[in-house]
Chains A and B, each alone.
Chain A
Amino acid sequence: MNEQHMQVFVDATKHYFSHLSNKPATVQVPYLINHDDAVLFDYTGIIGIGGKYRGNVYFTAPETMMQYVLMTQGEQVCSAEFCLDIVGEVANTVAGNARRDLGPEFVISAPIKFAGKPDKMLLGTESRSYAIPIQWRLYTAAIVVSVT
């Protein structure tokens, strides 16, 4: 992944949140993270990447942010089940929108969603991983790109 590739995910993330409300997200400078330093909030949606690329992309966010996203979409139920659903949908939308620039060879899986910390490390061992911090309203979340 080079700088241009990272920009694709930054743009896709900004696009998602600007479409959601009139408050655009602020994306901070991406930074390199080690395999053992996975960035994780309360809920995480992870997309496996195949085709010409290998690895994964995940979106991770605190529960309060996911509840706010649900309410913004007119949802009155903000259960843990729905938070898991929407975190997967954000990850899917950001990764899917990235195909506009990366093309159909950027093959994405259906999202795998979880709360808390997984038993196994998420990051691919063969690729460098970048965390992209996202600020939206009062909340901080992150997109982590681990793709080679």
Chain B
Amino acid sequence: MLIVDDSNIIRRRIERSVHTDTVSVVGTACNGVEAVKMFKEHSPDLVTMDLTMPEMEGNEAISAIIAIDPNVSILVISALADKLTAIDAISRGASGFLTKPFNEQELNEAIVELMEFRKK
């Protein structure tokens, strides 16, 4: 999986918190531009994506990544808690939405759910 967030603390926290056997972290990115670049390099099955970031925001990065690989699973992890933001992310191709603040259990459940859905 690829972790995208402008906060180093959040990137490190997600990396520490993922405890599923089926997922390993291939890289991290701090904005949308870096995310698209790293996605092209590593082709991960799963991306966790923040939305509010400098340079290129998450929703733009979602569209760019989906254009490269429509089958990738993108879990948005954002503080933006309104429904329209979630709907917009999903309509761009995101597979799930987790609102900050999140805990370890919520993160792992969301990742397992996406990976299970991916198998079907």
Please give the residue numbers on chain A whose beta carbons come within 8 Å of chain B beta carbons, in ascending order.
15-16, 19-20, 70, 73-75, 81-82, 85-86, 88-89, 92-100, 102-104, 108-110
Are B52 and A15 neighbours in the complex by a CB distance under 8 Å? no
Q: Is the interface of B mostly helix, strand, loop or mixed?
A: loop
Q: A19-B101, A96-B100 are in contact. Are A104 and B7 (CB under 8 A)?
A: no
Give residues 68-115 of B contacting A (CB, 8 Å): 78-82, 84-85, 99-103
Interface residues on B, range: 20 to 34
Known: A85-B8, A108-B80. 6 other contacts (CB 8 A): A86-B9, A89-B9, A93-B100, A96-B78, A104-B82, A110-B6
CB contact between A104 and one of B6, B54, B85 (< 8 Å): that residue? B85
Q: A92-B52, A96-B79 are in contact. Are A73 and B84 (CB under 8 A)?
A: no
Question: From residue A90, how far is it (CB to closest CB) to chain B in Å?
Answer: 9
Q: Which residue of A lies closest to B8 (CB)?
A: A85
Q: Is the interface of A mostly helix, strand, loop or mixed?
A: helix
| A98 and B79 alpha carbons, distance in the complex (Å) | 9
Q: Which residue of B lies closest to A106 (CB)?
A: B82
Q: What residues of A have a CB within 8 angstroms of the CB of B84 in the complex?
A: 103-104
1/0 per position for B4-20, CB-CB distance to A under 8 A? 00111110110011000
Question: From residue A50, how far is it (CB to closest CB) to chain B in Å?
Answer: 12
Question: From residue B104, how far is it (CB to closest CB) to chain A in Å?
Answer: 8
Question: From residue A68, how far is it (CB to closest CB) to chain B in Å?
Answer: 14
Question: From residue A112, how far is it (CB to closest CB) to chain B in Å?
Answer: 10
